[in-house]
Structure 1
Amino acid sequence: MTPRIWLYPLLAWLLFAWPLKTLAKDSIEQQGDTLQYAIPAVALAATLFYEDGYDGSIQWLKAVVTTETTVYVLKKSVHKERPNGNCCSAFPSGHAATAFTGAAFIQRRYGWGYGVPAYLVAAYVGYTRIESDKHDTTDVAAGALIGILSSYYFVEPYKGIKITPYAANGSYGLMFTGRW
C-alpha cells in the first residue's frame, strides 16, 4: 500500500493534538465533544493507512453519511426538549450516533480486539451527554443504535470469515463467508 503522505499532518492533529488539548480541560461535555469525532477519525485513518485500496474508506463514508442524515432527519422531525430545558433537538443524540458509528466500524471491519476499546470510548461519549444534561438515556441509546446499524449495514470485515444471521422462508441459521 502506498502511504498518502499529505494526510499525516492532518491525522496527527486529529488523533493527538486536538483531543489532548480538549481532554486537558475540565469539562466532561468538551471531552465528549472531542471523542465523538476521534473515534470515526481513527476508523478512517485505519482504512487509509492500513488497507490497500479504498473499499474501507467508501464503506466508512456510507456509514457516516447514513448516520448523520438519519440523525438530522429525526432531530428535525421529533422536536424533543433536552433535559436542561433547551428546545428541541434532543432525540437522538448525534454525539452518540457519531461515536458509535466509528466504534461499530472498527469492530465490524477489524474485529472485537479493536472494537471493545472503541465501544468503551463511545459509551463514555454517551455518558458525557447524559452527565452534561444534554440527553437522557433514550436519546443516547437511539443514537448508538443508529450508528451501530449504519456500520453493520455497510461495513464488511477487512479479512477473514464473516458470520451473518440468516432468516428466510421459515429457515434460520448462520451464514459463513470468507475472503481469501
Structure 2
Amino acid sequence: MGILEKMFSKRNAVVIADEGLLSTPNPKTEVKSKSDLLTYKIFVAWSNKYEGEKQIMRKIEAMEVPYKGLKGSALRQKVEDSYHVNKYPIQEGYDIYFKDEPDNDYNSNAIAIMSEEHGKLGYVPDKNISRVRGILSKDKYEAKWIYTCKEKKYLDEDDRIVTENIGQSRLEVQFKYTRTK
C-alpha cells in the first residue's frame, strides 16, 4: 500500500457534513466559507487497458439508450423535457483513491487512479501530477470520477433535433478542495 493510498483513501477520511469534503482527521482546519472552495479537473484517456475501465464501460453499455426507438414527436418531447439527452446517463462515483507507483516503468512519479469497486481506472496525466500532489496534500478535499458520454441530442436555435458527437467518451476526475491561506 503506497503512502498516498494510506493517507488519502476514503477509508482513512471523514466526511465534513456542511461542506461534503473528505478530510484526513485534523480538527484545527475548517472551511471558512464556500468561497474558499476550489475545483480542479483532470481527464484520463480511455485505453481499455485497465480492468476498472472495462467494468465501467460494460456497465454503461448495458444501459438502455434513453432515446432508443424514439422518433418524431416522442423524441422531440424527450429532448425538450431535458434540454439535452446523453446517449448514456452520466455516471459518477466517489469510490476513488490515489496510489503512488514509484516502480512504474514509464514515470517514477506516477499516481494511479484506483476505484474500490472497479480497480485501476488509469493514471493522473504527467502534466497534472504536480498539481494533484498539491491537492492530495491538503487537509480537506473531495475527489470523484465522472464518465462523460460522447453523444447527445438537443434542440438547436431553429428547433431542430441535433445529434452531437463530442469526441471520445472520457473519464474525468474532479477535485474540490479548500484554499490554503
When normalised by structure 2's length, the TM-score is: 0.22
Higher strand share: 2
Higher helix share: 1
Q: Which of structures 1 and 2 has the bigger CA Rg?
A: 2
With CA pairs under 8 Å and 6+ residues apart, which has the higher RCO, 1 or 2? 2
